[in-house]
Structure 1
Amino acid sequence: MNSSLFPVVAAALLTPFALSAPLPRSTPEEQGVSPAAIVKFVEAADKNVNTFHSFMIVRHGHVIAEGWWKPESADKPHILNSVSKSFNSTAVGLAIQDGKLKLDDPVLKFFPEDAPENPSENLKAMTVRDLLTMTCGHESEPKRDNGGPSVKQFLAHPVPFKSGTHFQYNTMGSYTLSAIVRKVTGQTPLEYLKPRLFEPLGIDNPRWDSSPEGNSLGGYGLYLRTEDIAKLGQLYLQKGKWNEKQLISQDWVGLATSKQVPNENAGHAGIGADWKEGYGFQFWRCRHNAYRGDGAGGQFCIVMPEQDMVVAITADTGNMQGELDVVWEHLLPAVREDALPADAAAGENLKQAIDRLVAHPVKKGN
């Protein structure tokens, strides 16, 4: 690293606490990204989206910029909402890798005691793959009652479409995946992932709320730090490999992050151009050949393979398309194949832009 530049941008590039096995840090220029463009990204995020909570940009495996809107901080876990689904999907992939289940296993196989008395043919045909791709055959998303989600509620919901043919966003289906992981492994996804994912990635103290049935909520309820989100994206960007060890198979990564089903005609809260690019295994496809984990309120784990980049974002906003737009508008054009000359002035501007960040009062719809 350029030692003359490093002190100027240190506050923008380093977290103020010691993570377990943190990602390496670098300057934007060393990794081929213009710091001036990152300043524009930060300023646009602050101005156009109410309100960002944090961002972290990783290029070539190095954190090149990060920031938190006060009072948020680097060491504070954040609710992930449906980014939890991508972690839950990873637990399913690992269970498949361990020989505990198969993509085409029927869902009813795992829950004979919770099945309706006379299950429909469509329900009988529903598989683990259908849960992962949100093509369970439901016309509407099953709702959980005030007592929390249950597998019995999910299985009781009408299934008018042939499974695998109709995309319908389905958090209860994600919860059912969590219940399946527990059925076949004897552990909740939280417990199952600790030695297989969280500990190898250096993710400390993950919290995942559970249902009255004792299952991790699966589709939501996970709390992690911004860097933890970035680590999941980096693991998938590296095709499942971490520190020279293949944590999850390259085949799974390819399936989970590719377009398994179309969704351009599906309704979803926060709908925009990036909600019509297809759906994988609890990952959304994006424009620019990217993919993402995606959670209500603006939580994102964005992976851009062509740029070898990951962007993690936490927020409290209804303008989720706006968050993605500032990434596409300001970060993508700033990426270069080779390193750039050091720019101390731009580094200082970036530091100051990040130091000024304060969360705005949340306004409905923005």
Structure 2
Amino acid sequence: MLLKKEYASLFEDVHTHVKESAEKMGSSGGALFIIHNDKIVTESYFGKQSNTKHAWDVQADTQFHIASVRKTYIGFAAAYAIYHGYFSMDDPIRRFVKDAHLSAYEGVTIRHLLTHTHGLKIADGKLVSEYKPGSSWAYRGPSIELLATIIKNTTGQSIADIVKEQVLNPAGFQSTEWIKMSQPHSKITDTIRDADNIFWTETDVADGSGMNMYVSAKELALWGYLHLKEGKWSERQIIPKEIIEMATSIQTPNPNLPIHKNGFLWFVKDTNNTFNQIGDKVPKGSYQLLGYTNVTLLVIPEENVVAVRMFNRYGSPEGYDYLSDVRSFGDTVYKCSIKASAM
């Protein structure tokens, strides 16, 4: 998609915010890409792809490890499968798993997996139930493995295959890849971690392939823009609108509970609360995902804006409030888009 570039100084505060965050976090480089009112208003690349002596500059085709932001692609694949009738949102997952006899699966549905309300966790090497499905919220790993398995077993395609066939190929994306860490190329950033940071592993469990997702700032923004435009690409409806609506609308089983609200793995803004990753000023109905590498994809439909920030650091330094940082990023994007719309 060829969007007109109309760089706007009114978004300079976002640029300043992102560069300051990169410095505080200890990222060697980063990127910022903003689309507003169907124009590219900010496109910025700074720093190096790693801390090594002869590291490449971060450029337009540099690809960053997007960590949990990959869940937007997993959510899309789930919506695709539901739309085409492979399973329904409220099907019990026992219908699709080999070890259906496990008591932890009692009452767990596809919807629970997609909204982090399943209650499943691993304890002492076993799958157990932490709470009654739908009664609370917790960010746990088993749901992603289960979703990937269910999608592949029912559709006959991996998540990567579905996304490639439905979006990457039709849209002509060139800088969105699942890559093995043992096979990097020159456009890939080296993701920095503290010596004692063993929390994050390099592999993506979503397809059991030992791969993870690396995406350029532009293509991650265009992925968000495809959602903003409800599946339209260059005035062509390449994805049914219903798939996007499912993925980006609140699907949490009991929306009255004081917990995070999710679409299909997207965080969707509802009310303000202390645990939101989306800023207080960002309007209801906006949706976002934040990765452990501090990559963020934010879509604000009310202001027709998509904003992507890319960093290459696992976690953040001790004492750094990453939640406050990402909320502030969203609020700054929203404030600047309001000003730009008023011009």
TM-score range, shorter chain: 0.7 to 0.9
1:51-72 per-residue CA deviation (whole Å, 9 max, x = no partner) reads 4611101012221111112212
Return closer, same or farther for 1:332/1:91 CA change in 2, 3 Å cut-off. same
Equivalent residue number for residue 64 of structure 1? 41
Return closer, same or farther for 1:142/1:253 CA change in 2, 3 Å cut-off. farther
| CA contact 2:112–2:133 (8 Å) conserved in 1 | yes
Tell me whether 1:84 sits opposite 2:70 in the alignment.
yes
d(CA) in 1 for partners of 2:174, 2:39:
20
Tell me whether 1:313 sits opposite 2:309 in the alignment.
yes
d(CA) in 1 for partners of 2:204, 2:62:
28
Q: Offset at 1:283?
A: 0.4
Match 1:129 to one of 90, 111, 127: 111
Residue identity matched to 2:88: K
Tell me whether 1:45 sits opposite 2:18 in the alignment.
yes
Q: Offset at 1:226?
A: 0.9
Equivalent residue number for residue 297 of structure 2? 301
Pairs within 5 Å for 1:193-208: 193-204=163-174, 206-208=176-178
| CA contact 2:37–2:304 (8 Å) conserved in 1 | yes
Match 1:335 to one of 319, 334, 338: 338
Return closer, same or farther for 1:215/1:259 CA change in 2, 3 Å cut-off. closer
d(CA) in 1 for partners of 2:256, 2:17:
28
d(CA) in 2 for partners of 1:212, 1:229:
20
Match 1:259 to one of 247, 250, 254: 250
d(CA) in 1 for partners of 2:332, 2:256:
22
Return closer, same or farther for 1:308/1:251 CA change in 2, 3 Å cut-off. same
Moved more, 59-68 or 305-314: 59-68
The structure in which a higher percent of residues are helix is: 1
Tell me whether 1:322 sits opposite 2:325 in the alignment.
yes
TM-score, scaled to structure 2: 0.73
Unaligned runs of 5+ in 2: 49-57, 181-201, 269-277, 317-321
d(CA) in 2 for partners of 1:227, 1:26:
12
d(CA) in 2 for partners of 1:64, 1:304:
15
Return closer, same or farther for 1:186/1:214 CA change in 2, 3 Å cut-off. farther
Equivalent residue number for residue 181 of structure 1? 151
Pairs within 5 Å for 1:159-308: 159-204=129-174, 206-208=176-178, 216=207, 221-261=212-252, 278-285=261-268, 286=278, 287=280, 288=282, 289=284, 290-308=286-304
Q: Offset at 1:203?
A: 1.6
Q: Offset at 1:101?
A: 1.8
TM-score, scaled to structure 1: 0.69
d(CA) in 2 for partners of 1:101, 1:204:
31
Tell me whether 1:54 sits opposite 2:31 in the alignment.
yes
d(CA) in 2 for partners of 1:129, 1:254:
15
| CA contact 1:54–1:313 (8 Å) conserved in 2 | yes
Pairs within 5 Å for 1:112-151: 112=98, 114-115=99-100, 118-120=101-103, 123-138=105-120, 141-142=121-122
Tell me whether 1:73 sits opposite 2:55 in the alignment.
no
d(CA) in 1 for partners of 2:307, 2:227:
13
Equivalent residue number for residue 94 of structure 1? 80
d(CA) in 2 for partners of 1:283, 1:174:
13
**Structure having the higher Rg:** 1
d(CA) in 2 for partners of 1:296, 1:24:
29
| CA contact 1:25–1:62 (8 Å) conserved in 2 | yes
d(CA) in 2 for partners of 1:91, 1:161:
27
Over the residues paired in the alignment, what is the CA RMSD in angstroms?
3.2
Residue identity matched to 1:335: I
d(CA) in 2 for partners of 1:212, 1:81:
10
SS of the residue aligned with 1:158? strand
d(CA) in 2 for partners of 1:231, 1:254:
17
| CA contact 2:35–2:307 (8 Å) conserved in 1 | yes
The structure in which a higher percent of residues are strand is: 2
Return closer, same or farther for 1:323/1:66 CA change in 2, 3 Å cut-off. farther
Return closer, same or farther for 1:236/1:330 CA change in 2, 3 Å cut-off. closer
SS of the residue aligned with 1:157? strand
Equivalent residue number for residue 356 of structure 1? none
Return closer, same or farther for 1:68/1:293 CA change in 2, 3 Å cut-off. same
Residue identity matched to 1:67: S
SS of the residue aligned with 1:313? strand
1:24-76 per-residue CA deviation (whole Å, 9 max, x = no partner) reads 132145xxxxx1x3223222322244346111010122211111122122212
* Higher relative contact order (CA closer than 8 Å, sequence separation 6+): 1
d(CA) in 2 for partners of 1:277, 1:110:
27
Q: Offset at 1:133?
A: 0.5
